[in-house]
Homo-oligomer: A and B are copies of this chain.
């Protein structure tokens, strides 16, 4: 470490809920550094850098703000907090000339934030999208490769430790939404918070949707998508169909991958382990080393908040995507014409269609639309719902296409 940095780092204090629980993992001479009170870390005059890894909004926020106000630099992996209070924390850091770094908050060990803030800064980034939640990617991979239904795949993920005891934040898309908010803020230089991100989880995805998607050349992934154009920013997390030939289609299991589109660099992709203790530690240590270099060179706060724009956030109804719809219809003459009319009346054209007989005089009708304004698609769905021959609209999913394909 001395050779890598020219300086030695020393761990002065460690706050944990129950010091007795971890005391056996600490060398005997070091047991004195353990405490159950985070204030003892923040108030220790010999501490220069505070690493916050408790997660959640409080007391993490109070702890980080106290550290910054005491002139201490902060490294965190806390996406929940940064996605909600990023501006306030970065402002506090700037005010006290401190560094506040959070590379680990997005995609674990995969370098994303620093490449955007430094290497790619010359670009006008117009799109950031990717698979940023390992739990849901594991579940969808199992559903696709082994034909499992959602609950069975979730149970397996829990058993193998890929899903937490309460998996809500992962399967409902919140975890991915926080990462999208953070990446969009940095990539587009305009603050995007969790509430700005439209979020849908994967709990309603069925093995049947995945099978039809496959027949149409696509796989289903929980994607985080952020785009920026002259009308503003759109940001959402939802299960989407993506072409089987897209590099993200083969990102399986608990791996993460983020695609960026910049006007100079074109597409770049970053791929790796998005979670786990060691990959997260890799990112945290990278941030700590960066701060150590800043302290050595007297340039703390060298790169701070980069949100100098205030761009509007688009309503979902104004975004454009292709859509996949799976419907149960009456299996009789003229039904398809009615359905096609419902789309056409609302300016929705169809790109792919599969119709197949289903039990009890019904048929399953699966379509992929051309790119359409979401508000128009909703009108088409309302028209469809009003038709007696449409028994059920069983699935409505967005289809990812690169900006230029839309």
Residues of A bordering B, CB below 8 Å? 3-4, 103, 109-111, 114-115, 118-123, 189, 247, 250, 262-273, 278-279, 281-286, 288-290, 293-294, 297-299, 302-303, 306, 308-309
Q: Cβ of B265 and Cβ of A278 under 8 Å apart?
A: yes
Supply 16 further A-B pairs (C-beta < 8 A) apart from A109-B266, A270-B271. Answer: A109-B262, A109-B264, A111-B268, A115-B115, A121-B289, A123-B282, A247-B271, A263-B278, A265-B273, A266-B279, A267-B273, A269-B269, A269-B271, A269-B272, A293-B302, A294-B302
Take A279-B266, A298-B299, A302-B299 as given contacts and tell me if A122 and B286 are in contact as well, using a CB distance cutoff of 8 Å.
yes
- CB < 8 Å: which of B3, B268, B272, B297 contacts A272? B268
Question: Mostly helix, strand, loop or mixed at chain A's interface?
Answer: mixed
List 23 A–B pairs whose Cβ atoms lie within 8 Å, in order of A's numbering. Answer: A3-B189, A109-B266, A111-B119, A111-B120, A111-B268, A118-B289, A119-B286, A121-B289, A122-B282, A122-B284, A122-B285, A122-B286, A247-B250, A262-B282, A265-B272, A265-B279, A265-B283, A267-B272, A269-B269, A269-B272, A270-B270, A293-B302, A298-B298
Q: Cβ of A264 and Cβ of B293 under 8 Å apart?
A: no
Within the complex, the shortest CB–CB distance from A203 to chain B, in Å, comes to 29
Q: Cβ of A268 and Cβ of B119 under 8 Å apart?
A: no
B residues near A266, Cβ cutoff 8 Å: 109, 272-273, 278-279
Most chain B CB within a 10 A radius of its CB, from A103, A273, A282: A282
Within the complex, the shortest CB–CB distance from A295 to chain B, in Å, comes to 11
B residues near A189, Cβ cutoff 8 Å: 3-4
Q: Cβ of B111 and Cβ of A286 under 8 Å apart?
A: no
